[in-house]
Amino acid sequence: MFRYKPLPQDEAGAPPRKGAGAFIASSRIALDAGQHPVVALRSHDGGMGAMLLVADPGAGFSAKARETLENTLQRFASGGWKREALEAALVGGAENAKWKIAKWREALKQFSLAPQEYDLNGQFYRKVYFEPKSGALNVFREEADPDHWNPAKAKLALHDGVRAFSDNHAGGVVANATRFFREKITFRALRELVLPVHLEQAAGEPFYLWSAACSTGAEAYSYAMYLHRLIGRAGANIDFRVFATDINEKLLEGAKKGEYEIHKRDLEQYRPYFQRYGRLEGETVTFNEELRRHLTFGVFDIRNVPRRRGFRMIVCANVFQYYNDDARGHFLENFASCAARPGYIYVGPVTPDLLARSGLRHVPKYKLLEVD
């Protein structure tokens, strides 16, 4: 029987293991789960236990969860523990990972395992300590820092955080903070300002948008779908391309496949887009070649000066809020150096001091910075 206990402070000792996979032992297992849900398994006699974590952000999550669970059950079977003699628990998972919780439930059900469920709410980073013998599940929760979203209190300097963003797993400083059509104001800006300016001042020339720090690529596909629709409705005979970059190579590998599991809320709001530009099967979309030929994915560190020029719009919504103003100023210089004239940059809130130093014009209606 599992026994759940929230810890008031982190336990001393060796740091919990990080990364995804199956962690199997007969004694204590410590796992840094971040904002991901974790499955715990134990034999009734406590002779063996396991914790399972899958960090895949896209359409491959369900298959990876089933594969990890199946391989773990085979390990139990090889040790003499039949599936009928196992207990399961589902632990953790922030609000933005609820869809993974549902997928874990489905996988466990397929193997006739009914999990006990604990600690499924709140934007927390979790460390889980599991003792198979006693069934003790101790969880330390550290609340996600709300100051990450406050431009006056961001802490990372220019050379901080690089490893966290570039580690070849989907964690790090940002827990895949992306979704389809995420920054709604940017789509309004494209429709009402940015594309009309381009059609007026650069008639016949291709339209380039850069999705910087694109994470899993959902936003980049969103811009591609929206631009295809806008340009078609405008009757404009121009090509367009969405360049999507990130420092995390593993996230980009998933993005290039063009396969995503769609959050139920996104599916309700944007189903016509997914049906028009992809093959929609249940809650999974595979984008078609007609759309994908307008996207280019590549590894790039926004600390560096871009080589490509002529971006009419640059969107960097995933990283900017974590850095201090000195670093933000550096990023803005890089963005401005490669923007078209006029060009438009979306980076979320900026401080008045940074705005004054940047030399960029603020367009408050659309929360954009204009390069002129």
Q: Which domains does the chain have, with CATH numbers?
A: 3-144 (3.30.1330.200), 162-371 (3.40.50.150)
Identity of the amino acid at 236: A
pLDDT tens-digit series, residues 305-353: 999 999 999 999 877 777 888 889 999 999 999 999 999 999 977 888 8
Res. 279 pLDDT band, cuts 50 70 90? very high
Measured CA to CA, the distance from residue 220 to residue 207 in angstroms comes to 14
Element (H, E) at 354: helix 352-358
Res. 177 pLDDT band, cuts 50 70 90? low
User: What stretches of the chain adopt beta strand conformation (E)?
Assistant: 3-7, 21-25, 29-34, 38-43, 49-53, 86-91, 116-118, 124-131, 136-143, 207-212, 240-246, 259-261, 278-281, 284-287, 295-299, 311-315, 339-346, 361-363, 368-371
Residue position matching structure tokens 């659309």: 366
Res. 264 pLDDT band, cuts 50 70 90? confident
pLDDT top residue among 143 and 310? 310
Mean pLDDT, rounded, for 346-372: 90
pLDDT tens-digit series, residues 35-69: 889 999 999 999 999 999 998 766 778 899 999 99
Res. 93 pLDDT band, cuts 50 70 90? confident
Handedness of CA 22, 166, 220, 185 (dihedral sign): positive
Residue 359 has pLDDT above 60, yes or no: yes
Q: Which residues, 6+ apart, have CB-to-CB distance to 267 below 8 Å?
A: 274, 283
Please say whether the beta carbons of 208 and 315 come within 8 A: no
pLDDT tens-digit series, residues 22-32: 999 999 999 98
Mean pLDDT, rounded, for 85-109: 88
Q: Directed axis angle between helix 61-78 and helix 98-110, to 10°?
A: 40
Res. 20 pLDDT band, cuts 50 70 90? confident
Highest mean pLDDT among 71-75, 177-181, 345-349: 71-75
Other CB atoms within a 10 A radius of the CB of residue 357 amount to 15
Res. 161 pLDDT band, cuts 50 70 90? low
DSSP secondary structure code for residue 177 in this structure:
-
Of the listed ranges 127-131, 187-191, 238-242, 352-356, the one predicted with least confidence: 352-356
Res. 271 pLDDT band, cuts 50 70 90? very high
Mean pLDDT, rounded, for 228-254: 94
Res. 86 pLDDT band, cuts 50 70 90? very high
Largest Cα span, the chain: 74
Residue 151 has pLDDT above 70, yes or no: no
Mean pLDDT of the chain: 88
Mean pLDDT, rounded, for 247-257: 91
Q: Give residue 153's pLDDT.
A: 56
Res. 368 pLDDT band, cuts 50 70 90? very high
Q: Give residue 14's pLDDT.
A: 65
Measured CA to CA, the distance from residue 299 to residue 348 in angstroms comes to 22
Of the listed ranges 1-15, 105-119, 270-284, 333-347, the one predicted with least confidence: 1-15
